Amino acid sequence: MSEILDVIRARHSARMPYDPDRPVPAGLLGQILEAARWAPTAHNMQNYEIIVVDDPGMLEQIAAIRSEVSVEFIRENLAQLSFSEDELRSKKVGILAGMFPPSWLDPDAKPSPSELAEHAFLGHAIASAPLLLIVLHDSSRRAPASAGDVLGMISLGCVMQNMWLMAEAGGISMQILSALSGDHVEAELRRLLDFPPQFKVSFGARLGYPLNPPTPTLRVRRDTADLVHRNSFRASHPR
């Protein structure tokens, strides 16, 4: 049982460039997809399909898709940032600001043309990964009486977690790419990958092996005592 918890704790988002010449072994990819297949979904509706993209030419076309950063993202992202490791340790939530361009750290600033160009295409996000998984949400399948299809979204989260944990256990680096679900990007992916109208891009995941050894980063979580409430919310954590 402790081995499962070790994998859960070790799971992380590997944002660095991957080695394009070192493919994910077929056996490990099969295990990752098998883990996705056994993910729990509401009413066992299995409301997803997975497109495996490993053709270099197709990956190049996807990398060339324009994906502009919205003002809304910059503003809401800023609220989650800490500007020092001490601040992050104190908050126990969020991420460090240093991983983003300077102009993203001021809600009133406008990114420079060079920064916009650097982040304007998916190639920046894909960063030479040899394998991309695109998880599609089948909007024609819904859990009964689920407002906003929230149970369907939870189900897709279970698919993501199963794949991520299996990748971690197999020594494969992985990063979730939420940018693939943007309207313009989704339209371009639909054109390239030819999936039907009822399918929406839920998320993408790039997998591979880092080109260089990962740089250790500070990872934080709230303490269990801070987030667990026993019998009553306010009695255990008066605010």
Burial of 194 per CB tally in 10 Å (0-12, 13-18, 19+): exposed
Average pLDDT on 78-106 reads 91
The model's confidence at residue 122, banded by pLDDT at 50, 70 and 90, is confident
Between 109-113, 196-200, 234-238, the lowest mean confidence (pLDDT) is in: 109-113
What is the reported pLDDT for 119?
63
Please check the confidence at residue 34 and state whether its pLDDT lies above 80. Answer: yes
Q: How many C-beta neighbours within 10 Å does residue 87 have?
A: 13
Percent of the chain at pLDDT exceeding 70: 92
DSSP-based three-state secondary structure for 36: helix
Cα–Cα distance measured from residue 168 to residue 11, given in angstroms and rounded to the nearest whole number:
6
Residue with tokens 């894909």: 126
CB 12, CB 221: distance < 8 Å: no
Identify residue 219 by its one-letter amino acid code. Answer: R
| 2-236 maps to CATH 3.30.465.10 | no
Instruction: Name, of 96-100, 147-151, 161-165, 183-187, the range with top average pLDDT.
Output: 161-165
Cα–Cα distance measured from residue 9 to residue 2, given in angstroms and rounded to the nearest whole number:
10
What is the reported pLDDT for 112?
65
Cα–Cα distance measured from residue 7 to residue 198, given in angstroms and rounded to the nearest whole number:
35
- Residue 81 is inside which H or E element, if any? strand 81-82
